[in-house]
Amino acid sequence: MVRGHRGGCEPFVGRAGQLLNAMLLAMGYKRESVFIANIVKCRPPDNRDPKPEEALQCEPYLLRQIELIQPRMILAVGRIAAQNLLKTEITVGKLRGRVHRFGEWQIPLVVTYHPAYLLRSPEQKSKAWQDLQLALSGLRERVG
């Protein structure tokens, strides 16, 4: 799972973290059983979105993490993660709902909404659930 960086060192804390935990549990995973990485490796000042040059500066580190972990699936959580991983400006709403391929490894990648967004827009939770189901079906295909 890759996300844009918001907050302190530990990703997804507070209410957004609780929602993420519930989302993972609904897929049959505990938070401890998945790897969560940030697009940037240090917190931008005032909790602002990372600038493109900051994400680019951290990209080699993220790519090395992905290479070492060799995930069977990447869940890009939120706009910052999705747009940076897929090298696009397309919105999350238009990127979600299908399986993309990431990098030279062609790792399946599914885009979904950030839990903080879902807390503000609960009517989007059903779409996020569809995204999680898509990721789960992709994982089952890669295992089976």
Could you state, in chain order, the average pLDDT of each consecutive group of 10 residues for the chain (144 residues)? Answer: 54 90 93 92 88 95 96 96 97 97 96 96 97 92 69
Angle between helices 52-69 and 79-86 (to 10 degrees): 80
Contact 8, 83 (CB under 8 A): no
Angle between helices 125-143 and 14-27 (to 10 degrees): 50
Q: Check residue 2 and give its pLDDT.
A: 55
* d(C-alpha 34, C-alpha 132), whole Å: 14
Contact 102, 67 (CB under 8 A): no
Q: Check residue 1 and give its pLDDT.
A: 61
Q: Check residue 7 and give its pLDDT.
A: 44
CATH no. of 2-143: 3.40.470.10
Name the DSSP class of 39.
S
Q: Check residue 73 and give its pLDDT.
A: 95
pTM above 0.85, yes or no: yes
